[in-house]
């Protein structure tokens, strides 16, 4: 598995847009996009079209801050 950082925004009823940045572990970019849409959508009760992913970047193991992602990539 590889570590990725997903950044983007989603529609928030109280504000115009709410920015987010999350670290996830997955096999490839397509899998991490799917996982991000699923996780953020279920956590904030949003549809997929309400979430905009701006950037998906692979990050080296030394830059990972999330302990769960560190464990998943074997760090």
**Model pLDDT, residue 37:** 96
What is the band of 16 on the pLDDT scale with cuts at 50, 70, 90?
confident
**Model pLDDT, residue 15:** 78
How far is CA 48 from each of CA 7, 33, 62, 65, rounded to the nearest angstrom? 15, 11, 31, 26
Contacts 24+ apart (CB under 8 A), 29-34: 29/4, 29/56, 29/58, 32/4, 32/6, 32/56, 33/6
The answer to whether 73 touches 59, Cβ cutoff 8 Å, is no
With a cut of 80, say whether residue 70 has pLDDT above it. Answer: yes
With a cut of 90, say whether residue 14 has pLDDT above it. Answer: no
Instruction: Answer yes or no: pTM beyond 0.85.
Output: yes
What is the band of 23 on the pLDDT scale with cuts at 50, 70, 90?
very high
Task: Report, as an integer, the average pLDDT of 49-69.
Answer: 94
């Amino acid at each position: 598995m590889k570590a990725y950082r997903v950044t983007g925004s989603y529609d928030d009823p109280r504000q115009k847009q709410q920015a987010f940045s999350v670290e996830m572990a997955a096999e490839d970019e397509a899998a991490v996009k799917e996982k991000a849409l699923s996780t953020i959508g279920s956590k904030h009760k949003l549809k997929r079209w309400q979430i905009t992913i701006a950037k998906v970047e692979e990050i080296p193991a030394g830059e990972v801050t999330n302990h769960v992602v560190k464990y998943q990539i074997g760090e």
